[in-house]
Structure 1
């Protein structure tokens, strides 16, 4: 490794990406780089924001592999038979799990009403109440928090386990990831404190004890890079099939599109031809997988609005630096 390039990389991180807490680069399953910043260490977890979505995608795949969910073409309302559809509302009845995974479900709101949603005593019902409307099924409509929570309800209904229990048993424990416990946030102040806490750990729950599909999960950079390596290796970890290769192939190719951006099943597709994809979270949290170069990069970052694009950092600095390493 060129020491001058290493110094240049870390100078760039400290000046332009100074909210990074930790970064790991793997190639061919070997650790080529691991470093921590802002007084973080390898054992510190961080809230990975929307990276949670991509990990939740794996849980849906596992639930399908194990027969808890028949297929992604099942209707969302099949899992909520007690939900009362509003008079004249038809669109919601046609929304499928695939629409939720590909962000192609319509909603009755122009932007998600976060405060109203978080203040409600039933987040699943609040999300279902917003699903449907006059929008077209099949058009990309990104749901950062509210709509995606419906997937959490589906997983709980299908498996009859909590999200964390199912994840621990079928994904986290096999990979040696310890999430540990549920986190209850009682008010706005606790919510923002959770986002900024240097000792944060666990997975947030809603008033019914359901872990969100879209946020609230804390991981270390090593936990994150393990997820990336699992996907790079076709769902196999230590000779055991954790997620089916078919699910990984389907969920990491373009299934919907938002302008120039491509989307799979809760994964962002960076380059469909080269098969590069990423889990992206607010503040600059990333699990990046380049299948052609057999490279995985994880970046954990502190909460920061409008953080600089990490994909640019990876493509301009990290990939060129490590692509010729064995």
Structure 2
């Protein structure tokens, strides 16, 4: 429910720490309270966290180049700060990677509550036709609980062999793999195990994981437009592939914080919430020493335990749903980071210690600064050089490309006042991306070499259109750099174009490698020579 001004003023009377806040409410805070849907909105100080410290957190993660794409902080059930680094936006879905696992676990919780299965059920009992002719003792012993806790007994993540099956039969492949250890005794992060949870739900519900969760979870939480990657047989991948907005992630965390209750209705049993988010198995050697690492605090049912009695779902490169029961807080973050621990450390060092039980006194100046910062977040690269004399010389001319792995034949650059259109040609036709100068130019492209999905397309010749935001800048008079941000994923491509006389050399780096501490060589190099003009 949206917090009205009357509700706000009523809450103000609860503590003397906010005496005088009403004097600056209309000008500084009024717009924060206008919300017609989604989670309620409030003001940082009213919910016991200062604008100054939220601003300090944002500045810290930016200074460390941690690659955040969005941030939403919820305190006492109300959003007190939210921001998206342009070109990412509030209404855009973001790839969740392994944060998807926590949603799959939740679906199992619903199925348990409905009596469709139990966590003690044996995995092979659901797949009489897919199980191998000879079932090993360890495979026979594997339970749903072992899938949930990543203790299946495998010594290697099973997702690799599954991804290798591009035509069908991931379930059969999983069941064919050796189970070296006794299930329930050895933690190994295993995305294939989560896939099997999805496959089991598909069996018992006769519908997809996504369809099953829609009336159970997504509709009550007003989560719309979710989608999930599927295997070649149409089964949702479970361990990855879900796409949601940042606020959807925050709602999910808030449901767990509220022990499964939403708008006065118990959606998911509190007992399941407690079980799923508790320490079920150790996920690191028991050394007896205090550890400062977030990935060895114990594991629940597809949830990680954290320090400070918190827990989280998370995904590769920094997709977080962090639930902090002691602070009555949820933090949702999407990003592409080289250091997931560093983001968590900033939360513990800046946000956590400054969360108070009661409201804080006014700080109009800091709140205004925070609002300005949140409104101007961007991933735009700095402008290195405003222009180059080469632009007019090369504009519209065509380079014939040397033989390359993408079978691209020609390339051209068309420079205008505020943008550059990059075009390549292959046997299918032309592919273009328009790059803005000091602004993101948004469009769609079928440019070969886009960041791939985890699940290969059956027909690799079919390249779907993807959304892209692009910017171009001159690094120096002879070097033009394009950044292509595929903003429904965490990823981007950086294309560095070196011009020399009548040649061009284009080096492609993906953002994963660029942000890594040990950057790799360009994954692709295109070289071309200017075609002679026909007179």
Please indicate the TM-score interval, normalised by the length of the shorter structure: 0.7 to 0.9
Q: Which residue in the other structure is 2:53 paired with?
A: 5
Deviation at 1:104, TM superposition (A): 1.1
1:98 aligns with one of 142, 145, 152: 145
Q: Give the distance between the partners of 2:141 and 2:135, measured in 1 at CA.
A: 14
Q: Which residue in the other structure is 1:140 paired with?
A: 186
1:278–1:238 CA distance, 2 compared to 1 (3 A): same
**1:119 is aligned to 2:164:** yes
Q: Which residue in the other structure is 2:16 paired with?
A: none
1:250–1:168 CA distance, 2 compared to 1 (3 A): same
2:197 aligns with one of 151, 155, 164: 151
For normalisation by structure 2, the TM-score amounts to: 0.53
Deviation at 1:15, TM superposition (A): 2.1
Structure with greater proportional helix content? 1
Aligned Cα root-mean-square deviation (Å): 2.0
Q: Deviations over 1:135-161 (max 9, x none)?
A: 122223323422321111111111111
Q: Which residue in the other structure is 1:236 paired with?
A: 261
Q: Give the distance between the partners of 1:37 and 1:104, measured in 2 at CA.
A: 38
Q: Deviations over 1:150-204 (max 9, x none)?
A: 1111111111111111011211111011134xxxxxxxxxxxxxxxxxxxxx210
Q: Give the distance between the partners of 1:101 and 1:236, measured in 2 at CA.
A: 22
Max Rg structure: 2
Deviation at 1:49, TM superposition (A): 0.9
Q: Which residue in the other structure is 1:42 paired with?
A: 90
Deviation at 1:86, TM superposition (A): 4.4
Secondary structure at the residue paired with 2:349?
A: helix
| Runs of 4+ off more than 3 Å | 1-7, 109-113, 304-309, 321-326
For normalisation by structure 1, the TM-score amounts to: 0.85
Secondary structure at the residue paired with 1:205?
A: coil
Q: Which residue in the other structure is 2:334 paired with?
A: 300
Secondary structure at the residue paired with 2:202?
A: helix
Show the 5 A alignment for 1:274-285: 275-285=309-319
2:67 aligns with one of 1, 16, 19: 19
Q: Give the distance between the partners of 1:86 and 1:306, measured in 2 at CA.
A: 44
Show the 5 A alignment for 1:1-326: 1=45, 2-69=50-117, 71-87=118-134, 89-107=136-154, 110-112=156-158, 114=160, 116-120=161-165, 121-130=168-177, 132-180=178-226, 202-259=227-284, 260-271=296-307, 275-302=309-336, 304=337, 306-324=339-357, 326=359
Native 8 Å contact 2:57 2:347 kept in 1: no
Q: Give the distance between the partners of 1:59 and 1:88, measured in 2 at CA.
A: 28
Deviation at 1:305, TM superposition (A): 5.1
Secondary structure at the residue paired with 1:146?
A: helix
Deviation at 1:310, TM superposition (A): 2.7
Deviation at 1:234, TM superposition (A): 1.0
Native 8 Å contact 2:122 2:143 kept in 1: yes
Structure with greater proportional strand content? 2
Secondary structure at the residue paired with 2:105?
A: helix
Gaps of 5+ in 1: 181-201
Native 8 Å contact 1:16 1:308 kept in 2: no
Greater relative CO (CA pairs within 8 A, separation 6+): 1
Q: Which residue in the other structure is 1:187 paired with?
A: none
Native 8 Å contact 1:102 1:266 kept in 2: yes
Q: Give the distance between the partners of 1:179 and 1:75, measured in 2 at CA.
A: 34
Deviation at 1:281, TM superposition (A): 0.9
Q: Which deviates more, 60-69 or 16-25? A: 16-25
